């Protein structure tokens, strides 16, 4: 151990201010203040802006959504625009889009935990909630696009009187397991992370109702060293498992496409393509949620500009990977020498229909993403909000180009036909959007939106080896 | 308040202070005691002398069990009970089972991690003597609390009280267990 007597000398060895890491939490006001600050929103009166957003989303979720859902289930898939040759339409586009939104949540929460990035503590919970709600929305589409939703149980390996079993060699079958597992594991992960914070809210509760609810949810958590010891282990294990899921779920969705013999789908790059696309899309949604909630919930000291800057950088990285994949896809289509592949890719940008989607895809996912190179833009929250929205639109377009763009003009005139979404397609999508945001608003208002215990552990006051955390002078 | 004595609790203000205090409690030879903190304090595991948590093994067992069960299920379903020829491929081959088995392994392991954590921590529980204490509420806020159990062979109301005071604990209180 070096001689620590000359503290002044050590201080001079420390990096200059601009090279030092930004603190996780601004203000440096201590653990009690943090607890008050982080639980304040869940305990305060419901603010006006919350109702302003909640009423329309709740209308979409509880009126538009069930109407479109039940009409489709009772009538059949024919109410949608899906028809020969576009047997897959908005249902699959939206399914992939929602799965995609989910992925960044898991990535932020699980992978940044494994790499010990302390700044994830402030945004991890929001990201996990995004995952849980969007996987739930995604899971709905495959369940109803099979047409006869009351036969969904055929997809599960249940011994039945028909004596048949699912066909396990198909990626479509794997999807069933992948999406269900994703929903279940991300919910478990989300819930487990909240247990200590439920205990915080339980101990702070002033009314009997709150006390009973949070006591029930906290399940008797006391925060003993033994509990934390096992909890931390379980958390690491769950993080590892969630990271595996990030790479599994969208890969399998990609396999649905690349096992099909359709030019534009039949490419080995698809599993990776879908994973990265999913992550990119999810980061877009994360930017939208973070920049807005930070302001609305008054969390400027907690979700600092430095954190948002980092999310923007990660968005840029995933955007650059997706740009590379676009390039590769087009290059391989040309390099393969396959006239059908070449024709499909040429058609995406110079065809008769939907060419504008091809250019929109390039304009947003390749063009707009490059704006994130600039620090000025990364520090402009309004711009980041808009860029996040645009990325979501761009990634939705990408899925449309892949799904419909490859189907609508096959190589026989009998297989030509444009795709027109109907009001039921649109209504269902609006309904899922409404349900997602309604659930998210409920989460923001009533549950610990920031991981209180994790944030406290990431402050200097929570570090037993830091002078502010009670370590003796000169370190531990 | 005339229940059985559960133990003595003392408050500390910082993670560093509680860590040093815990070292001393351990040094004094106590066995039935615990430290209650608002977040996991780095280094406390070593002081408490905990070995690697068993949660990982529970998770592994359930994950491996799920993996093998799915392999078995796929063989039973697609090769034995109702042999299904798809694209002239073999009825059963290990690669075909991998993806579903792998996914459900993740499911099993995740359930194992949560259930294992709850089981080993003896949660959920509806009542805990400490949760009835008003002062204990700060253990999820900004205080660090050491509790020495009355069931410890070394526990004595006066000597333990003195020890907790000597190591810097404040607001030392008796915890009662109301049956």
Segment A210-247, tens digit of pLDDT: 999 999 999 999 999 999 999 999 999 999 999 999 88
pLDDT at residue A15 is higher than 80: no
pLDDT at residue A30 is higher than 90: no
CA dist A71 and A76 (Å) reads 8
pLDDT digits 0-9 by tens, A40-89:
888 989 999 999 999 999 999 999 999 999 999 999 999 999 988 899 99
Q: Which residues of B touch A203 (CB under 8 A)?
A: 136-141
- Identify which of A170, A178, A462 has the shortest CB distance to residue B15: A462
- The interface predicted TM-score of the complex, written ipTM, equals 0.94
pLDDT at residue A346 is higher than 50: yes
Range with lowest mean pLDDT among A106-120, A283-297, A370-384: A106-120
Q: Which of the listed residues B96, B120, B144 is the one where a domain comes to its end?
A: B120
Question: With b meaning 16 or more CB within 10 Å and e meaning fewer, what string describes A193-224?
Answer: bbbbbbbbbbbbbeeeebeebbbebbebbbbb
CA dist B5 and B52 (Å) reads 32
A21 touches chain B (CB under 8 A): no
Average pLDDT over residues B75-101: 89
DSSP state of B136: G
- Fold assignment, A28-151+168-469: Formate dehydrogenase/DMSO reductase fold (1.20.1630)
Whether residue B116 is found in the same domain as residue B59: yes
Judge contact between A295 and A117, C-beta under 8 A.
no
Burial class (CB in 10 A: 0-12, 13-18, 19+), A313: middle
Judge contact between A441 and A53, C-beta under 8 A.
yes
pLDDT digits 0-9 by tens, B132-164:
888 999 999 999 999 999 998 888 888 999 999
Q: Which residues of A touch B16 (CB under 8 A)?
A: 464-466, 469-472, 476
Judge contact between A202 and A215, C-beta under 8 A.
yes
- Identify which of A35, A241, A464 has the shortest CB distance to residue B142: A35
Does the beta-carbon distance from B50 to A461 stay under 8 Å?
Answer: no
Angle at A273 between CA A269 and CA A279, to 5 degrees: 160
Is the bond leading into A405 cis (omega within 30 degrees of zero)? no
Task: Give the residue from B179, B166, B172, B143 showing the smallest Cα distance to B7.
Answer: B172
Which of B81, B114, B140, B148 is the best substitution to test chain A (most A C-beta atoms within 10 A)?
Answer: B140
| pLDDT number for residue B179 | 62
Q: Which two tokens stand for residue A402?
A: 């892949």
Does the beta-carbon distance from A225 to B107 stay under 8 Å?
Answer: no
Give percent of chain A with pLDDT exceeding 90. 63
Whether residue B46 is found in the same domain as residue B86: no
Whether residue B91 is found in the same domain as residue B115: yes
pLDDT digits 0-9 by tens, A248-285:
999 999 999 988 888 889 889 999 999 999 999 999 99
CA distance A222 to chain B (A): 7
For A162, residues 6+ apart whose C-beta sits below 8 A from its C-beta are: none
Give the residue on B whose Cα is nearest the Cα of A215.
B126
A118 pLDDT tier (thresholds 50, 70, 90): confident
CA dist A109 and A239 (Å) reads 8
A31 touches chain B (CB under 8 A): yes
Does the beta-carbon distance from B53 to A471 stay under 8 Å?
Answer: no
Query: To 10 degrees, what angle do helices A31-43 and A423-446 make?
Result: 140
Does the beta-carbon distance from B14 to A472 stay under 8 Å?
Answer: no
- Identify which of A31, A191, A245 has the shortest CB distance to residue B38: A31
Give the residue on B whose Cα is nearest the Cα of A463.
B15
- Identify which of B13, B109, B141 has the shortest CB distance to residue A241: B109
> A residues 149-188 near B, CB within 8 Å?
157, 163-171, 173-174, 177-178, 180-181, 184-185, 188
Q: Which two tokens stand for residue A107?
A: 């990535």
Q: Which two tokens stand for residue A345?
A: 């890719």
Q: Distances in Å between the alpha carbon of A362 and those of A53, A98, A343?
A: 32, 21, 18
Judge contact between B53 and A229, C-beta under 8 A.
yes
Average pLDDT over residues A142-169: 88
Give the residue on B whose Cα is nearest the Cα of A453.
B39
Q: Which residues of A touch B21 (CB under 8 A)?
A: none
A283 touches chain B (CB under 8 A): no
Q: Distances in Å between the alpha carbon of A331 and those of A76, A262, A363, A426, B163?
A: 40, 18, 18, 34, 75
Distance of CA A469 to the CA centre of its chain: 34
CA dist A171 and A166 (Å) reads 12
Number of domains present in the structure of chain B? 2
Angle at A367 between CA A362 and CA A369, to 5 degrees: 115
Burial class (CB in 10 A: 0-12, 13-18, 19+), A398: buried
Whether residue B35 is found in the same domain as residue B85: no
Task: Give the residue from A200, A192, A157 showing the smallest Cα distance to A176.
Answer: A157
* Pairs of CB atoms within 8 A across A/B: 223
A473 pLDDT tier (thresholds 50, 70, 90): low
Does the beta-carbon distance from A238 to B113 stay under 8 Å?
Answer: yes
A248 touches chain B (CB under 8 A): yes
Give the residue on A whose Cα is nearest the Cα of B13.
A470
Give the residue on A whose Cα is nearest the Cα of B138.
A203
pLDDT at residue A150 is higher than 70: yes
- Identify which of A203, A226, A464 has the shortest CB distance to residue B141: A203
CA dist A201 and A212 (Å) reads 11
| pLDDT number for residue A476 | 45
Structural domain containing residue B149: 4-52+129-177
Please report, in angstroms and rounded to a whole number, the separation of the first and last CA atoms in chain A. Answer: 12
Q: In chain A, what are the domain boundaries?
A: 28-151+168-469
DSSP state of A274: H
A245 touches chain B (CB under 8 A): yes
Does the beta-carbon distance from A471 to B16 stay under 8 Å?
Answer: yes
Q: Which residues of A touch B149 (CB under 8 A)?
A: none
Does the beta-carbon distance from B14 to A464 stay under 8 Å?
Answer: yes
Does the beta-carbon distance from A200 to B52 stay under 8 Å?
Answer: no
Give the residue on A whose Cα is nearest the Cα of B44.
A225
Q: Distances in Å between the alpha carbon of A342 and those of A58, A259, A264, A329?
A: 46, 19, 9, 10
Does the beta-carbon distance from A222 to B118 stay under 8 Å?
Answer: no
pLDDT at residue A13 is higher than 70: no
Q: pLDDT: is A474 or A243 the higher one?
A: A243
Q: Which residues of B touch A189 (CB under 8 A)?
A: 110
- Identify which of B48, B106, B125 has the shortest CB distance to residue A220: B125
pLDDT at residue A368 is higher than 90: yes
Whether residue B116 is found in the same domain as residue B166: no
pLDDT at residue B170 is higher than 90: no
Whether residue B68 is found in the same domain as residue B154: no
Give the residue on B whose Cα is nearest the Cα of A167.
B78
A56 touches chain B (CB under 8 A): no
Whether residue B112 is found in the same domain as residue B141: no
Whether residue B8 is found in the same domain as residue B30: yes
- Identify which of A189, A191, A225 has the shortest CB distance to residue B34: A225
CA distance A173 to chain B (A): 9
A403 touches chain B (CB under 8 A): no
Q: Is the pTM of this model over 0.90?
A: yes
Helix (H, G, I), strand (E, B) or coil at A111: helix
């Amino acid at each position: 151990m070096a001689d620590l007597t000359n503290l002044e000398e050590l201080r001079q060895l420390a990096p200059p201010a601009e090279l030092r890491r930004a603190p996780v939490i601004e203000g440096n006001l201590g653990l009690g203040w943090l607890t008050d600050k982080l639980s304040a929103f869940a305990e305060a009166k419901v603010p006006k802006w919350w109702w302003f957003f909640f009423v329309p989303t709740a209308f979409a979720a509880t009126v538009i959504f069930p109407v479109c859902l039940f009409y489709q289930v009772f009538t059949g898939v024919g109410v949608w625009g899906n028809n020969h040759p576009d047997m897959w339409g908005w249902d699959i586009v939206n399914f992939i889009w929602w799965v995609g939104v989910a992925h960044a949540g898991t990535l932020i929460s699980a992978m940044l935990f494994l790499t010990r990035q302390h700044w994830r503590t402030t945004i991890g919970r929001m990201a996990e909630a995004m995952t849980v709600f969007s996987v739930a929305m995604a899971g709905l589409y495959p369940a109803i696009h099979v047409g006869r939703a009351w036969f969904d149980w055929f997809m599960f390996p249940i011994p039945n009187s028909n004596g048949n079993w699912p066909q396990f060699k198909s990626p479509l079958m794997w999807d069933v397991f992948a999406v269900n597992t994703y929903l279940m594991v991300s919910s478990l992960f989300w819930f487990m992370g909240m247990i200590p914070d439920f205990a915080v809210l339980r101990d702070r509760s002033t009314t009997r109702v709150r006390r009973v609810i949070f006591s029930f949810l906290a399940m008797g958590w006391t925060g003993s060293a033994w509990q934390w010891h096992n909890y931390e282990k379980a958390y690491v294990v769950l993080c590892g498992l969630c990271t595996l899921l990030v790479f599994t779920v969208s890969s399998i969705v990609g396999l649905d496409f690349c096992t099909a013999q359709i030019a534009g789908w039949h490419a080995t790059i698809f599993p990776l393509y879908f994973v990265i696309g999913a992550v990119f899309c999810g980061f877009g949604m994360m930017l939208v949620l973070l920049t807005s909630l930070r302001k609305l919930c008054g969390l400027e000291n907690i979700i600092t500009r430095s954190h948002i800057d980092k999310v923007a950088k990660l968005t840029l990285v995933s955007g650059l990977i997706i740009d590379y994949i676009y390039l590769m896809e087009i290059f391989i289509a040309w390099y393969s020498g396959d006239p059908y592949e070449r024709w499909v890719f040429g058609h995406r940008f110079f065809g008769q229909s939907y060419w504008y989607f091809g250019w929109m895809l390039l304009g947003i996912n390749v063009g707009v993403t490059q704006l994130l190179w600039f620090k000025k833009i990364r520090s402009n929250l309004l711009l980041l909000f808009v860029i996040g929205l645009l990325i979501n639109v761009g990634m939705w377009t990408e899925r449309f180009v892949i799904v419909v763009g490859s189907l609508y003009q096959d190589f026989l005139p009998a297989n030509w036909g444009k795709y027109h979404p109907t009001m039921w397609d649109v209504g269902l999508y609006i309904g899922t959007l409404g349900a997602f945001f309604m659930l998210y608003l409920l989460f923001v208002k009533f549950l610990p939106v920031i991981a209180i215990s994790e944030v406290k552990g990431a402050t200097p006051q929570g570090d037993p080896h830091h002078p502010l955390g009670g370590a003796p002078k000169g370190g531990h | 308040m005339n229940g059985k004595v559960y133990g003595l609790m003392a408050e500390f203000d910082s993670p560093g202070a509680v860590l040093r205090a815990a070292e001393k409690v351990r040094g004094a030879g106590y066995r039935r005691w615990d430290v209650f903190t608002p977040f996991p304090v780095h280094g406390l595991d070593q002081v408490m002398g905990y070995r690697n948590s068993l949660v990982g093994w529970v998770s592994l067992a359930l994950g491996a069990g799920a993996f093998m069960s799915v392999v078995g299920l796929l063989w039973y379903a697609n090769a034995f009970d109702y042999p299904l020829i798809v694209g002239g491929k073999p009825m059963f081959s290990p690669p075909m089972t991998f993806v579903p088995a792998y996914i459900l392994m993740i499911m099993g392991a995740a359930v194992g991690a949560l259930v294992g954590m709850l089981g080993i921590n003896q949660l959920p529980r509806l009542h805990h003597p400490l949760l009835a204490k008003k002062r204990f509420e700060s253990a999820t806020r900004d205080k660090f609390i050491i509790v020495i159990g009355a069931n410890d062979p070394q526990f004595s109301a006066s000597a333990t009280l003195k020890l907790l005071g000597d190591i810097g604990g404040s607001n030392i209180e008796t915890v009662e267990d109301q049956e």
